[in-house]
Amino acid sequence: MAKEPGRVLKPFNSSSGPDIISPVKPGTALLQAKENTSTCAQPERKQWCLQDFDIGRPLGKGKFGNVYLAREKSTKYVVAIKVLFKSQLQKAGVEHQLRREIEIQSHLSHPHILRLFQYFHDKTRVYLVLEYAPKGELYKELMKNTRFDEKRTATYMYQMTSALLYCHSKKVIHRDIKPENLLLGLTGDLKIADFGWSVHAPSSRRTTLCGTLDYLPPEMIEGKLHDEKVDLWSLGVLCYEFLVGKPPFEAETNSDTYRRITKVDLQFPPYVSHPARNLISMLLKHDPSQRITLEKVLEHPWIKENQRPAAP
C-alpha cells in the first residue's frame, strides 16, 4: 500500500514569528530552479531550498502566486509548494497575515488540517512546503455535484468539527471557513487548507471585518467583539451550503446579505431533513452564547446517524 504523501516530512518548528519579507525588486521570473537564487532562510537549522525539489505541474493559482506539485529529491515524497511573490504581498500589505498563517499552521497537526511542513524564501519569493491533497479542492467537488447528500455532508461536518475542536484547544480561531479553503486528501477526507485569517485567542477579540461575506457572523457584521464562536456560525453556513448548494443568506446585494444575516433569515428547501435543519438552526444563532458547542455537534443525532467512519 502506498505511503501517504509527505508522511516522513517534519514540520518547521518556530518559537517566534518568521521573518520572511524584505524589500525586493518586482519582475523576477517564477521557479527558475536551475538558477542558484534560492537560499535557506535560516542556515543554522536544517532547511530546504528550491534545489531540494523537482517541481511538477501547477495545482492552482492564487492572488499572490501559484501552487505546484513537487517532489523532495532525497526522499521522493510528494508535496505541494505554494509560491508567493514578496512584491505582491507588500503591495497588498498582507505580510503580517502571511507571517501569522505560517506561525499558526506550522504548529498544527491534525488529520483534517493540511500540514505546513516548512517554509523558505529567496530575494523575490516565499515558498510554503505543504501536504499534498490529491483529490483537490472541495469547492470544485461541490460545484460538480451541485450539492452533497446528507451522509456525505454529515461526514464532512464531523471532520470539520473535529478539526475546529483541535484548533480551539490550541487557542486558534479560524474565522474564514468556506468550501474554497478546504481540500480533499487521498481517501477523500476533508482538510482545512487556509489559515490566512486565523488568529490566536483571546487576542482575536476585536472587530476586524474579515472572511467571506456569506459566512460572516452577526457579531462581526455589527462590529462587536468576537471569539471562537464565530467558527460555530460559519460551520452552520457550511453545512447549509453543502446540503443546498449555496449559502443560506445569499442575496442580490451585499446590504441585503448583511440584513439577512443579522436577522438570521433562514429558509430551508423541502428536501433538507428535519434533523439536519435542527443542527443548522442550533449553529446559526444570533447570540453566540446560544450556539451549540462543537462537542455537542459531534454528538448530534443527525451527525451520529449519517457520518461515515474514517477510512482505515
The residues that are catalytic are 176
Identify the helix (H) or strand (E) that includes residue 297: helix 294-299
Identify the helix (H) or strand (E) that includes residue 60: strand 53-61
CA 227/CA 148 separation, integer angstroms: 30
Question: The C-alpha cell of 130 is what?
Answer: 505543504
Those residues whose C-beta lies under 8 Å from the C-beta of residue 23, and which sit 6 or more positions away, are 90
Q: What's phi and psi for 210, nearest 5 deg?
A: -130, 180
Residue with cell 497588498: 92
Cite the DSSP H helix spans in the chain: 86-92, 95-105, 138-145, 150-169, 218-221, 230-244, 254-262, 274-283, 294-299, 301-306
Bridge partners of 61, per DSSP, are 66
* Contact (CB, 8 A) for 40 and 49: yes
CA 120/CA 81 separation, integer angstroms: 10
